[in-house]
Amino acid sequence: MIVVLHVVAGAAVAHVASTRLHDRSQGGFRRPGLGLLAFACVAGLLSHGVLDGLKHGYPISAVPDIVLGTVLAVAWCSAVRPPLRLLFAAVIVAALLPDVIDHGLAMLRWKAGWDVAVNANHIFPWHWPEGSGSLHPGGNDPARSLDFGRNRAVSLANHIIVLLIAAGCVLTNPRVFRFAPDPIDARAA
Ligand SMILES: [Zn+2]
């Protein structure tokens, strides 16, 4: 899926993980321990596989997607309370890591038109032809063509499902944002 959605999925995992970090004594949240950080990063990395396994097209082309994803990641990390920034940054990076590892070189060569997304030699199974739900315009392959049958509708439905689940995860802990009321103040009020 597009980079932007992998950033959203990583941030969603971090929102859920940060529900373990409520702290009455230090302004609402404490820093994560190594165990939680590692577990959340593994969950973030695996979220990439769930998203890529779904049938999906690419609503944004590669370069604007990478730029927008980077801006979103930086904005999200700077919008959360300082003790949680490392958690959010690490999980978002973990959620992007499979693309960096499997597609990084191709991106550097500016072949990032996503036609290189399906390759049997990639490390992660969700980037193999058998595991990827990647769809592209043209052609007549039910498993690969965005234009075959109702694949566009399936892709749209899958994007909406991912966004709704991510929104649910964010809502488990919206007070991680600096502009949200402090959890301690809110309890005292
Ligand atoms: Zn991927």
How many residues are present in the chain?
Answer: 189
| pLDDT at residue 139, rounded to an integer | 85
131 CA from centroid of ligand 1 (Å): 11
127 CA from centroid of ligand 1 (Å): 6
Residue 81 makes CB contacts below 8 A (sequence gap 6+) with: 27, 28, 29, 176, 177, 178
Question: Partners of 40 in the beta sheet?
Answer: none
Domain residue spans in the chain?
3-50+59-121+170-188
Lowest mean pLDDT among 33-37, 39-43, 106-110, 128-132: 106-110
pLDDT at 115 over 70: no
Helices and strands, counts by H and E, the chain = 6, 2
pLDDT digits 0-9 by tens, 43-62: 999 999 999 999 999 999 98
Question: Partners of 136 in the beta sheet?
Answer: 145
101 CA from centroid of ligand 1 (Å): 9
2 CA from centroid of ligand 1 (Å): 8
140 CA from centroid of ligand 1 (Å): 23
DSSP secondary structure string, 18-52?
Answer: GGGGEETTTTEE-PPPHHHHHHHHHHHHHHHHHHH
pLDDT at 107 over 80: no
| pLDDT at residue 104, rounded to an integer | 82
pLDDT at 153 over 70: yes
C-alpha Rg value of the chain to the nearest Å: 18
78 CA from centroid of ligand 1 (Å): 25
